[in-house]
Amino acid sequence: MTLTFVWRPIPGAGRHAFPVAALKLAGDAKATAYCRAEADAAQLHDRSEMDWICETTCAACWKALSARE
């Protein structure tokens, strides 16, 4: 099975699901989550444990992912 998405916490904006391809974007590019929220690609890297704890899972991303199956 191939992993096609990754969850990443965006400080102040919640934990969103992004296509794995978003991890390969340049730092100044915009990554689009499954819920259509945008984040700087640089924000997908080097997340601290604190970011994971503080941000809540995005319900819209969760629904978008479950709708794909």
**Is 36 or 45 the residue whose CB approaches Zn ion more closely?**
36
Q: Are strands 30-32 and 14-19 parallel, antiparallel or unpaired?
A: unpaired
| 6 is a site residue for Zn ion (CB under 5 A) | no
Secondary structure E strands in the chain:
5-10, 14-19, 30-32, 38-40
Which one of residues 10, 22, 33, 41 is an interface residue with Zn ion (CB under 5 A)? 33
Which one of residues 10, 31, 44, 61 is an interface residue with Zn ion (CB under 5 A)? 61
Q: Candidates 3-11, 13-21, 22-30, 44-52 — which segment interacts with Zn ion by CB under 5 A?
A: 13-21
Q: Candidates 4-12, 19-27, 32-40, 49-57 — which segment interacts with Zn ion by CB under 5 A?
A: 32-40
**Residues 38, 31, 49: CA angle, nearest 5 degrees:** 85
Dist. CA 48–CA 61, nearest whole Å: 21
